[in-house]
Chain A
Amino acid sequence: MSQLNSSSSEMDLDRPNIEEYLPPDSIKESNEKLRLRDLLDVSPALTEAAGAIIDDSFTRCFKSNPPERWNWNIYLFPLWCFGVVIRYGILFPLRVMVLIIGWIIFLSSFFSVQFLLKGHDKWKKKIERYLVELMCSFFVASWTGVVKYHGPRPSMRPKQVFVANHTSMIDFIILEQMTPFAVIMQKHPGWVGLLQSTVLESVGCIWFNRSEAKDREIVARKLREHVQGVDNNPVLIFPEGTCVNNHYTVMFKKGAFELGCTVCPIAIKYNKIFVDAFWNSRKQSFTKHLLRLMTSWAVVCDVWYLEPQNQRPGETSIEFAERVREIISVRAGLKMVPWDGYLKYSRPGPKHTERKQQIFAESVLKRLEEK
């Protein structure tokens, strides 16, 4: 992910005006006659640039904040060492075994169902759903997940989509063990991708590829078709489009909000007491991330199923998306930032630079008139 290419202007249309969130431009509003120093004084632009170099709200969203070290003195350190021995020596092998048993049960049942129930689609689907839920429970057990679910369980009704904030791919597993969702996910390489193409297709998951521009239309169409179907699993979308560190939320993409369906928000908040569940995809692969979870004491989190929301008359999809984002952020105690998550992979479009250029040029020309 070291190649950053400049984004298409499409991305800029997706979101509300960033200028409303950024600190006001320090371009001096003045009606005085233009002097040489006004032209040469680039200090406002420099100050903004330096401010961005020193701290910026976008990078903060993807920073893994390590927990406070507690093993720093003479009796705590041996305790911690003892804990490490237990975690790596006892818990980890136990968990690996649980996972292997789970995989064996799952794969054998899943593929036998594929063959045996070839004609009986309805039964096949039911059993497959149950098996996927079971496998997810095995996964959650393999990191000793302590998950508290709040609120009414999702119901299987047509014309509804579920949206949740995104911290790691395990979000999907945690939610899936309760309800068989059809999730929209980025197609991954490796063993994850293999799983995606075989198993998860059966629950109706839809794949997309971030780097392909045309992909959006195809995915939007597939989504619309899926939502209309009565017997399909409810759709789960992570509108942020990327993993965020569970302290902030980035802007929601409006795709999920313009399907004409009820949107049911889900808020997920991880407790970092034993491990930080944020998957920093720039720093580690998913396998390493899973291993880290499996060698920690437990993964603790809260899941809130919130009140379903409908688009209000006169509300645009973007406003709707922001309203739902606020509901989720407030419930999970996350701060909202006005950035598009995809800026992780590409640079901002020229629109914002042009806006600043326009403001400066117009002020110069206006003051030139003043004699």
Chain B
Amino acid sequence: MGSTYSMLTQYDIEEVQEYCNNLFSQQEIVSLYERFCQLDRNSKGFISSDEILSVPEFAMNPLSHRLLKMVDGLNFKDFVAFLSAFSSKANIRQKIELIFKVYDLDGNGKVTFSDVLEVLRDLTGSFMSEEQREEVLSHLLKEAGYAKTSSLLLDDFIKILDYPCLRMEVEIPVD
């Protein structure tokens, strides 16, 4: 059987393209669909954690648990929408929005001190102590003019992260 999949119609492609704000070309959407069908092993129409974790490169990523919460159960349209932040056509605001969502998992629009600490814990593991993490974070927040108790909003993130070196692009392989 292998990678036989139901073909996308032109209507489907256009619908998905609109849904992701035209950040992917039609060819890229077809490639992404092939990939989606490959990951969705029993053709349920959505991908589950198990299937995503079977990609060893993903399972090795320190942020895999957080990302799994965002990607688990996505159907194809949402899958493309999630990945659209990584398109070369996405502007920096769209990319920072995704970064914000990674921190703000509960979706209340606020990123607290402990939220950032959680992400830092994922990224540094046992190679930094909890005290070191808190110290570094408090120090840098103060330096940037934020109180430890205040929460960061999306606009704060945009202000902090909007700089030319921010690169977050992935190329979709197209046959």
Contact = CB atoms under 8 A, between A and B. Distances in A.
Contacts of B144: 35-36
Given A41-B99, A46-B102, A46-B168, A54 B35 contact: yes
B63 A63 contact: no
27 contacts: A22-B57, A40-B160, A40-B161, A42-B99, A42-B102, A42-B119, A43-B166, A45-B63, A46-B63, A46-B168, A48-B61, A49-B58, A52-B57, A54-B172, A54-B173, A59-B38, A64-B2, A282-B41, A284-B1, A348-B60, A353-B60, A356-B60, A356-B61, A357-B62, A358-B125, A360-B127, A361-B127
B173 A35 contact: no
List 9 tightest A-B contacts by C-beta distance, closest first: A64-B2, A361-B127, A357-B125, A52-B57, A361-B124, A52-B58, A43-B168, A352-B60, A36-B144
A343 interface: yes
A368 B63 CA distance: 23
B56 A361 contact: no
Given A45-B123, A56-B57, A347-B56, 10 more contacts: A40-B160, A40-B161, A41-B166, A46-B102, A49-B67, A55-B35, A56-B55, A64-B3, A357-B62, A364-B124
Contacts of B166: 41, 43
A65 B34 CA distance: 12
Interface string B129-148: 00010001100110110100
A35 B162 CA distance: 13
Contacts of A364: 124, 128, 136
Nearest to B54: A4
A37 B57 contact: no
Contact of A276 (B2, B60, B136): B2
A49 B61 contact: yes
A42 B58 contact: no
Contact of B56 (A40, A46, A58): A58
A50 interface: yes
The DSSP consensus for interface residues of chain A is helix
A2 B26 CA distance: 33
Given A36-B143, A53-B52, A361 B57 contact: no
Given A39-B137, A63-B38, A343 B32 contact: no
B8 interface: no
A365 B128 contact: yes
A37 B4 CA distance: 44
The DSSP consensus for interface residues of chain B is helix
A49 B64 contact: yes
A108 interface: no
A28 interface: yes
Contacts of A56: 55-58
Contacts of A42: 63, 99, 102, 119, 123
B113 to A, nearest CB: 12
A237 to B, nearest CB: 24
A357 B32 CA distance: 30
A314 interface: no
Contact of A58 (B32, B57, B120, B123): B57
A29 interface: no
A28 B166 CA distance: 11
Contacts of A348: 56, 59-60
A35 B123 CA distance: 17
A66 B4 contact: yes
B167 A43 contact: yes
Contact of A43 (B59, B67, B99, B128): B99
Interface in B142-175: 143-144, 146, 157, 160-161, 163, 165-170, 172-173
A353 B126 CA distance: 11
A51 interface: yes
Interface in B55-80: 55-64, 67, 71
Contacts of A344: 54
Nearest to A245: B2
B127 A46 contact: no
